[in-house]
């Protein structure tokens, strides 16, 4: 298939592009680079040994999308492009509704004009809100607590309505839990522009000495060690879930929604202890107060994705911590000008990528 990947230069999108190319698909990326670097494109091509077509554009720009879709006969779309900082969405909701809701609606309009009705959409566990008991099942009501989550809900509902009104639409909605880790080669990982918002990049920066300590938000939650529990999933497992979801989008079932997580909860202290142990580093921590709006416990029920997509996360917390640290050590400033390894006629396998990447 020829797949349009919006936000393909970003963290999850870049790993998914490698997996799509490895699976034999053609890839076209559209990304406005508001939270990513153009340097990721050559890494994707290097890791897959194949080329992709990159278009720097905004998904809110209908005429740019029209031009792009005139150029490429796209079979299906994976829609990652969006902004994702929950706290920022509370203070700047307009940015979130514009990028994530208007961007999605514009993309779907362009897709429909060009006869493309197969789509995989990046949603989030945030749609469940903070007041429902884990494991979180797909049929639970949507109860988002912030503008980011409400935007994701709106797009989910819009896609569900589109599929109901016109059965030729086949949308698969994926709700991610907490993606962490990096490509095991150390060549691709999470490289946000500006200060990171997620736990793992901050843990890496503390271990690397770029920050003095990790602030743990709350150690008085009703959990075994008092810190909040989340469902961390390796970004490579997540990327592979998209390749499987793409197959589901080829089927005829409307409105499919799947959680993508491991189904295992891990506390902040457990994650830090595992990171320190597998990497032989120290991550100094300080207890800060709870953050408003944080759930104590959030992890996925993952049976549906296993039954319907034959997908299951296979990489461990140790893999996530090891790969995140390798990426951090090899790329302390993200996608800077670091040259790629010279393969000199050898294959990618010869640069020492750990076995779980294949």
Ligand X SMILES: NC(=O)c1ccc[n+]([C@@H]2O[C@H](COP(=O)([O-])OP(=O)(O)OC[C@H]3O[C@@H](n4cnc5c(N)ncnc54)[C@H](O)[C@@H]3O)[C@@H](O)[C@H]2O)c1
Q: Strand 232-234 and strand 178-180: pairing? A: parallel
Residues known to be catalytic:
148
**Which residues have C-beta within 8 Å of that of residue 271, sequence separation ≥ 6?**
199, 200, 203, 232, 317, 321
Decide: 125 and 259 in contact? Cβ < 8 Å.
yes
Which pair of tokens denotes residue 119? Answer: 């789509």
Least Å distance, CB 3 to ligand X, is 15
Residue 58 in contact with ligand X, rule: CB under 6 A: yes
Which string of x and - marks every residue 59-98 that binds ligand X (by CB under 6 A)? xx-------------------xxxxx--------------
**Site map 193..212 versus ligand X, x via CB under 6 A:** -----x--------------
Taking CB under 6 A as the criterion, the residue among 33, 105, 154, 348 binding ligand X is: 33
Strand-pair category, 229-230 with 266-267 = antiparallel
- Map the footprint of ligand X across residues 310-339, applying CB under 6 A: none
Distance CA 258, CA 245 (A): 9
DSSP string covering 276-303, please?
HHHHT----EEEEPPPTT--SB--B--H
For ligand X, which stretch binds (CB under 6 A), given 65-73, 162-170, 171-179, 215-223?
171-179
Residues contacting ligand X: total by CB under 6 A: 28
CB closer to ligand X, 9 vs 283: 9
140 sits near ligand X (criterion: CB under 6 A): no
Own/partner contacts of 96-99, CB < 8 Å, gap of 24 or more, are: 96/147, 96/148, 96/151, 97/147, 97/151, 98/60, 99/60
Please identify which residue in 99, 163, 227, 298 interacts with ligand X, judged by CB under 6 A. 99
In the bound state with ligand X, the residue whose beta carbon lies nearer, of 122 and 279, is 122
Considering only residues 10, 181, 184, 265, which one is a binding residue for ligand X as defined by CB under 6 A? Answer: 10
Residue 54 found at the interface with ligand X (CB under 6 A):
no
131-139, 173-181, 247-255, 277-285 -> range binding ligand X (CB under 6 A): 173-181
9 near ligand X, judged by CB under 6 A: yes
Q: What is the DSSP string of 195-247?
A: S--SHHHHHHHHHTTSSS-EEEE-S-SSSTTSS-EE-EEEHHHHHHHHHHHHH
Please state the closest distance from residue 281 (CB atom) to ligand X, in A.
23
Smallest CA-to-CA distance from 53 within 117, 120, 92, 5 is with 5
Positions in the binding site for ligand X (CB under 6 A): 7, 9-13, 31-36, 58-60, 80-84, 99, 103, 122, 124, 176, 178-179, 198
């Amino acid at each position: 298939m020829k797949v349009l990947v919006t936000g393909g230069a970003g963290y999850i999108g870049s790993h998914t592009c490698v997996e799509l190319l490895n699976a034999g698909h053609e890839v076209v990326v559209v990304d406005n680079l508001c939270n990513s670097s153009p340097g990721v494109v050559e890494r994707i091509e290097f890791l897959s040994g194949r080329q992709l077509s990159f278009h720097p554009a905004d998904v809110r720009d209908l005429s740019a999308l029209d031009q792009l879709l005139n150029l490429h006969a796209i079979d299906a779309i994976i829609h990652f492009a969006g902004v994702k900082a929950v706290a920022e969405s509370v203070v700047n909701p307009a940015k979130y509704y514009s990028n994530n809701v208007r961007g999605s609606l514009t993309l779907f309009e362009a897709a429909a004009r060009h006869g493309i009705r197969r789509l995989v959409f990046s949603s989030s566990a945030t749609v469940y809100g903070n007041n429902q008991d884990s494991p979180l099942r797909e049929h639970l009501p949507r109860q988002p607590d912030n503008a980011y989550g409400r935007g994701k809900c709106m797009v989910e509902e819009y896609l569900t309505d589109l599929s109901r009104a016109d059965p030729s639409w086949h949308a698969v909605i994926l709700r991610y839990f907490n993606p962490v880790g990096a490509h095991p080669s150390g060549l691709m990982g999470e490289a946000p522009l500006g200060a990171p918002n997620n736990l793992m990049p901050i843990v890496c920066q503390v271990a690397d000495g770029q920050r003095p300590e990790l602030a743990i938000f709350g150690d008085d939650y009703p959990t075994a060690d008092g810190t909040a529990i989340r469902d961390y999933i390796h970004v490579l497992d997540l990327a592979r879930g998209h390749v499987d979801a793409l197959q589901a989008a080829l089927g005829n079932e409307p409105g499919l929604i799947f959680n993508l997580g491991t189904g295992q909860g891990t506390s902040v202290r457990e994650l830090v202890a595992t990171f320190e142990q597998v990497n032989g580093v120290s991550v100094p921590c300080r207890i800060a107060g709870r953050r408003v709006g944080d759930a104590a416990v959030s992890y996925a029920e993952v049976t549906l994705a296993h039954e319907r997509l034959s997908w299951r996360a296979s990489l461990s917390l140790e893999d996530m911590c090891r790969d995140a640290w390798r990426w951090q050590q090899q790329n302390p400033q993200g996608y800077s000008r670091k040259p790629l390894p010279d393969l000199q006629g050898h294959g990618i396998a010869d640069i020492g990528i750990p076995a779980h990447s294949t």
